[in-house]
Amino acid sequence: MSKLSNLVGKSKTFTIGGIEMELKPRTLKDIDLIVDLADESKRAESLKKLITLTLKESIPDATDEEIAQVGFEHFKALSEAIVDVNGLSNTSTG
């Protein structure tokens, strides 16, 4: 492996809706979804795709239909977990 292996994001474990899951950070291949979050007209679709991709990778046996049926009451926790695992928080440390 090259030096770039040090730049690979680290997974984190979250409990959402009573389910413990290891969420993996997105990579440069998904940068368009992150950039689209800044565009109000694309934000909803981008966030939906980010949540779907993240859940699919975390729970590989989950079907698209199961993911689509995740209750909206889990939206805030999922969104916050995705922000956290991807280091997208606006808060500064130190």
Write the pLDDT tens digit of every residue in 74-88: 999 999 999 999 998
Spatial distance between the Cα atoms of 61 and 52, rounded to a whole number of angstroms? 13
Single-letter amino acid, residue 61: D
Number of domains in the chain: 1
Range of the domain at 55: 27-87
Please tell me the pTM assigned to this model: 0.82
- Give the pLDDT confidence score for residue 94 in this predicted structure: 40
Write the pLDDT tens digit of every residue in 5-52: 889 999 999 999 999 999 999 999 999 998 998 999 999 999 999 999
Spatial distance between the Cα atoms of 50 and 89, rounded to a whole number of angstroms? 16
Domain membership flag for residue 31: yes
Mean pLDDT for 54-66 is 95
The dihedrals phi and psi of 53, each to the nearest 5 degrees, come to: -60, -40
Domain membership flag for residue 49: yes
